[in-house]
Amino acid sequence: LDDILIYCKTREQHLKDLEAVFQRLQQHRLITKGSKCEFLKQELEFLGHVISTEGIRIDSKKLRAIQEWKPPTNLPQLQSFLGFVNYVRRFIPNMAGLTGPLTDLLQKGTCYEWGEKQQAAFEALKKLLMSPPVLRIADPEWPFEVITDASDIAIGAVLMQDFGNGLQPIAYESRKMQSAERNYPVHDKEMLAIVHAFKIWRCYLTGADVTVRTDHKSLQYLRAQPNLNPRQIRWLDYLESNFTYKITYKKGANNIADALSRLSAQLAAVL
């Protein structure tokens, strides 16, 4: 047993929870090492992140490592860099689009050639990671919003909550489409983005009230559509069986996730 993290909104509740945890540890004859314990902290480092009353951010030591990271000269070095990027992916809007030129080098049979496209993507990722957003900590007592969109090559989503002072980001998610998915009609690409977001954030969204915002207007009438194809039926069954949600239309120009997925297409054109 390792890394027990206990967090509460008030000092009084925190003390009660600590007592309950100690009782449970004693019940099962588990011992804690005092020198490794920290109590009543308002900010702490945990698994490469800094957690505070403001939210979650990347540890400053990680940021220094990013700043000093040199362009990978071989496949193992590239895999190491992408491994780190994947670890902090929740902080990176449109990670799929940004990493595209780099992940292309991982494909079987591809020669490792570091060119202008790869360097541009590498520098863009480093720049973004040097000033990452502070993400709020999800609160199951508040409803969630999932904002999604799809481009020709990628899907993107943002998980958000409004704690009374406007929507705040909880996490970002994006991925490149597989070859077969790129041939989907627009309606299915947009629905794929929704299903993917619910699968990624299932631990947050199960049992919660969820509003999905998409810039594809017909999706808000998904349940009433009479002629769904087998893929759509399978996706709808997954959503209906596991979540409480509603889908609403939000014009793409005002859609955060739309900007993320469109950036993928722009990068593909520029890089």
Q: Which domains does the chain have, with CATH numbers?
A: 11-40 (no CATH), 58-130 (3.30.70.270), 144-266 (3.30.420.10)
Q: What's residue 54's pLDDT?
A: 85
Regions in the chain scoring below 70 on pLDDT = 1, 252-271
Predicted local confidence at residue 258, as pLDDT: 53
- How much is the pLDDT for 201? 97
Distances (CA, A) of 263 to 99, 168, 268: 12, 21, 8
For the chain, the first-to-last Cα distance in angstroms comes to 46
Sheet holding 144-150, edge to edge: 167-176, 154-162, 144-150, 209-214, 244-249
Say if residues 100 and 266 touch (Cβ distance below 8 Å): no
Quick one: pLDDT at residue 169? 92
| pLDDT value at residue 142 | 94
Among positive and negative, which fits the CA dihedral 164, 167, 172, 173?
A: positive
Query: 136 with 169: CB under 8 angstroms?
Result: yes
Q: Using alpha carbons only, what angle is made at residue 72 by residues 67 and 73, rounded to the nearest 5 degrees?
A: 145
Going from the C-alpha of 53 to that of each of 41, 142, 171, the distances in angstroms are 10, 17, 17
97 and 261 Cβ atoms separated by less than 8 Å: yes
User: What pLDDT shows up at residue 78?
Assistant: 94
Q: What local confidence, expressed as pLDDT, does residue 268 receive?
A: 45
